[in-house]
Amino acid sequence: MADVMEKFFAPKSVCVIGASSTAGKPGNVVVKNMRDAGYKGKVYLVNPRGGEIEGYKVYKSIDELPDNIDQAVVTLPASLAPDTVRALGTKGTKAIVLAASGFSEVDHVGEALQDELIAAIRESGARVLGPNTTGHVSVPSAYTSSFFPLGDIPRGSVSYITQTGNFCGISLRHIMSAENYGIARSCGLGNKADLDECDLLEFYGADDETKSIFMYLESIKNPKRFLRVARRVSQKKPVFLLKGGASDAGAAAAVAHTGSLAADGRVVDGAIDQAGVTRLRKYSHLFQVAKALDTQSLPRGNRVSFLSPSGAFTVCLTDICRSLDLEVPDLEDKTCKRLQEYAPPFIRMRNPVDIFGSVGLVGYEKAYGDALDAVLVDRNIDAVVVIMMLTTETGVPNMDFIVDLSKKNPSKPVYVTFMGEHKHNIAAKEYLELKGIPCYMLVEEPFEVLSLLASCRKNMRVR
Amino acid sequence: MATRAERIIKAALAKGQKTLSEYESKRVLTAYGVPISREVLVSSQSEAKAAAKKVKYPVVLKGCSADEAHKTEKGLIAVNLASQAALVEAFKTISKRAGKNYDGAFLVQEMVSGSREIMIGMHRDPSFGPSVMFGLGGIFTEILQDVTFRVAPLRKKDARDMLRSIRGHKILEAVRGMPAADLDILCHSLMAVGQIALDHPEIEEIDINPLIIRGSKAVAVDALIVLANPEADGATS
């Protein structure tokens, strides 16, 4: 299994069956994507017309290809899939990605075709990703089989397993343009005719490039194996799951999307808990939580401190922490004394830290910097959120002190969020995130993330 | 212990029973260490009187037959019988309600008092297999549906998590002068129910409702084990 997963995620050679010279067609975008990703392996293209596409020689049939090409990406229509899989199997290809849709997710005819495909896969001796998938991405190998235009994907430590093509398509484009974290692997499972979430989870669990695992699933193909594999992997690495189809209406949509039938939701809930997998409830958390783990560590617990330029935040964000199962504990005495040094005497400094008065007295960098340093070394605190107040009039400080202090305390995550002038916030996010400090545009978001990470830490404890 | 349970199940299947009677169900549970109420199976009024002396008043009298899964609805239960006179009266009423053709027995049970009722169940999920359920018991099972599931076999931690993950989990804490519930007993019972399901594929469903928490210790007061219909293909897979 490990060998064939290598052929999927680090192929030395790959062929595209159904390569096209027409811009925008999947058979063309795949080839461009590989080139744009910087793929260094050998690329073989197949199209009955022959000739040349994107500078590569085109073979007229699978028969003409050399033997034992590591991986094949098939962009042909669904009806041709079974024969193509057999032909590739004969040529010794062990890893096949099937893009075509029109199988069990559509109708009875599609279901019959999928059964035929499954039989063909067994005969071929190859493993298949899909059908009905956008493909997969492997950044350390500069490789992608996706037919969604992607470009150069930033490398990181987060890996995705999704029963949707979004994370090799539009959601990946969102990550690449709106966020500044990188990914290691991403895989769209499609209809899971062969490979399923367990195979990927097992591979990611043993994969040195992957530090945290995020899943979006509409069904679990082999529930008992999932429980076994997830239990093991979730002890070593943070594993998160957004389960689509949790509501009745959502479950009905899942049948149309990937042909998934819902198991009893309450049993699934229990099994996910047993598996040590941390449950996500929001799609955007698939980015927000991932971003936190790409550059910062998992907090040791749920004890939070935050620096706030507004009294209202100290109050309402404490309420939010409470509702999210986060503690806002008392600080150590020495921390309070230190905070008081820069504060006006009429403000009693404590957690959460009302920083407004100190900023007025000693300036932005000194007030925030000293307070952040103080709470980071406090033994009662596991993580810190810094709420920045940025406007042209009050000035925009150099924010390197946050980066430096975070580096000094690597076991305690530091996140930044903002209130003030939007253009400064956006610029600050870009600056800080590229230096490894996750930023969140809405004040509640970093707390939601910390809450999920604290649950994850709990789930990972030896049981 | 598995063999004792196996004998009960085999005998019931041989007789064509679709369920185990309450008495049989509890023998299976107690074989696996699930705490059950003290009780004696009787078939006559005089046996009932002797049994009540042994169990000690107040007692509960129930019709007990594999065909009578809905004892409450049929009025086949009389609780809190404080004296022999009350027991005799109840015996007459229940016999009458059960009808002339009733060939079942009667159960004389200790009256377990406690104001906290919980439940443990098991059903076979088509994808995950035997799944253990825990929740609030008695009438609240249906009204609040405050239940949680775990897939068998349960580890100790799974059982602990279950107890914490219902909305009404505080019912197990020390509340209103009542002591905290003994969680070890509950964990053991949850794990035991999962194990029963794994050991006996002939069992389709288990419903222990209620377990009453007497002082700090849970006791199964009513229980029903449903057997798989051997004709239903794959029902036990």
Give contacts of B158 with chain A, Cβ < 8 Å.
273-274
- Minimum Cα–Cα distance from B126: chain A residue: A263
What are the tokens at A358? 């100190």
Q: Give Cα B25 distance to the centre of its chain.
A: 7
Residue A413's Cβ-count burial label (10 Å; 0-12, 13-18, 19+) is buried
Please name the residues in contact with B5: beta carbons below 8 A apart, sequence gap of 6 or more: B27, B28, B31, B32, B196, B199, B200
The predicted pLDDT at position B237 comes to: 38
Mutate to test the interface with A, among B147, B151, B155 (most CBs of A within 10 A): B151
Q: Does residue A48 have a cis bond before it (omega within 30 degrees)?
A: no
> Please, what are the domains in chain A?
1-134 (3.40.50.720), 154-295 (3.40.50.261), 297-460 (3.40.50.261)
CB atoms closer than 10 angstroms to residue A159: 30
- Is-contact A72 A96, C-beta < 8 A? yes
Answer yes or no: do B149 and A463 touch at CB < 8 A. Answer: no
Amino acid identity of residue A409, one-letter, is N
**What's the ipTM?**
0.86
Is B147 part of the contact surface with chain A (CB cutoff 8 Å)?
Answer: yes
Q: Say how far apart CA A153 and CA A172 lie, in whole Å.
A: 9
Q: Say how far apart CA B214 and CA B88 lie, in whole Å.
A: 27
Domain ranges of chain B: 2-35+114-227, 39-110
Alpha helices in A377-421 (DSSP H): 400-408
- Tell me which residue of A401, A320, A328 sits closest to A367, measured CA to CA: A401
Alpha helices in A324-363 (DSSP H): 333-341, 356-362
Q: Could you tell me the pTM of the whole model?
A: 0.91
* Distance to chain B for A193, nearest Cα, Å: 17
Judged against a pLDDT cut of 80, whether residue B216 lies above it is answered with: yes
Give contacts of A266 with chain B, Cβ < 8 Å.
147-149
The predicted pLDDT at position B236 comes to: 42
Give contacts of A251 with chain B, Cβ < 8 Å.
none
* Distance to chain B for A78, nearest Cα, Å: 28
Return left, alpha or beta for A315; rule: phi > 0 is left, psi -120 to 50 is alpha, else beta.
Answer: alpha
Furthest C-alpha separation in chain A = 83
Describe chain B by its helix, strand, coil percentages, rounded to 5. Answer: 35, 30, 35
Q: Which of A224, A274, A463 sits opposite B150 (nearest CB)?
A: A274
Which CATH architecture group holds B2-35+114-227? 2-Layer Sandwich (3.30)
- Is-contact A217 A244, C-beta < 8 A? yes
> Residues B34-75: pLDDT tens digits?
999 999 999 999 999 999 999 999 999 999 988 765 677 778
Q: Say how far apart CA A95 and CA A4 lie, in whole Å.
A: 6
The residue with tokens 């086949």 is B76
> Residues B136-166: pLDDT tens digits?
998 888 888 889 999 999 999 999 999 999 9
User: What CA–CA distances, in Å, run from A441 to A183, A302, A399, A420, B231?
Assistant: 21, 22, 16, 11, 60
Is A325 part of the contact surface with chain B (CB cutoff 8 Å)?
Answer: no
Q: Does residue B179 have a cis bond before it (omega within 30 degrees)?
A: no
Q: Say how far apart CA A180 and CA A427 lie, in whole Å.
A: 12
Is B177 part of the contact surface with chain A (CB cutoff 8 Å)?
Answer: no
What are the tokens at B183? 């969680």
Q: What is the dihedral of CA A111, A203, A273, A133, to 10 degrees?
A: -30
Give me the average pLDDT of each 10-residue run along chain A (463 residues): 91 97 95 94 96 94 97 96 97 96 86 95 96 96 94 96 94 96 97 96 98 95 94 97 80 62 75 95 97 97 97 96 98 97 94 96 96 98 97 94 98 97 97 98 98 96 64
Report the sign of the C-alpha dihedral through residues A206, A226, A85, A110, in that order: negative
- Is-contact A274 A227, C-beta < 8 A? yes
Answer yes or no: do B151 and A274 touch at CB < 8 A. Answer: yes
Please name the residues in contact with B23: beta carbons below 8 A apart, sequence gap of 6 or more: B39, B41, B64, B105, B107
* Distance to chain A for B185, nearest Cα, Å: 19
> Residues B182-205: pLDDT tens digits?
999 999 999 999 999 999 999 999
Extract the runs of DSSP E, i.e. beta strands, from A56-154: 56-59, 71-74, 95-98, 127-129, 136-138, 143-144
Is B148 part of the contact surface with chain A (CB cutoff 8 Å)?
Answer: yes
> B 94-133 residues with CB below 8 A of A?
125-129, 131
State whether CATH 3.30.1490.20 applies to domain B39-110. yes
Is B145 part of the contact surface with chain A (CB cutoff 8 Å)?
Answer: no
* Distance to chain B for A225, nearest Cα, Å: 9
Is A224 part of the contact surface with chain B (CB cutoff 8 Å)?
Answer: yes
CB pairs under 8 A between A and B: 51
Amino acid identity of residue A360, one-letter, is G
Q: Say how far apart CA A435 and CA A399 lie, in whole Å.
A: 10
Residue A164's Cβ-count burial label (10 Å; 0-12, 13-18, 19+) is buried
Q: Say how far apart CA A438 and CA A309 lie, in whole Å.
A: 19
Give contacts of A227 with chain B, Cβ < 8 Å.
128, 151
Average pLDDT, chain B: 91
Give contacts of B147 with chain A, Cβ < 8 Å.
266
Is B30 part of the contact surface with chain A (CB cutoff 8 Å)?
Answer: no
Answer yes or no: do B155 and A463 touch at CB < 8 A. Answer: yes
- Tell me which residue of B43, B237, B212 sits closest to B115, measured CA to CA: B212
Q: Running DSSP on this structure, what letter comes out for residue A218? A: S
At residue B103 the predicted structure's pLDDT band, cuts being 50, 70 and 90, is: confident
Is A460 part of the contact surface with chain B (CB cutoff 8 Å)?
Answer: no
Alpha helices in A237-331 (DSSP H): 248-258, 265-274, 285-295, 311-323
**Residue A164 φ then ψ, to 5°:** -165, 155
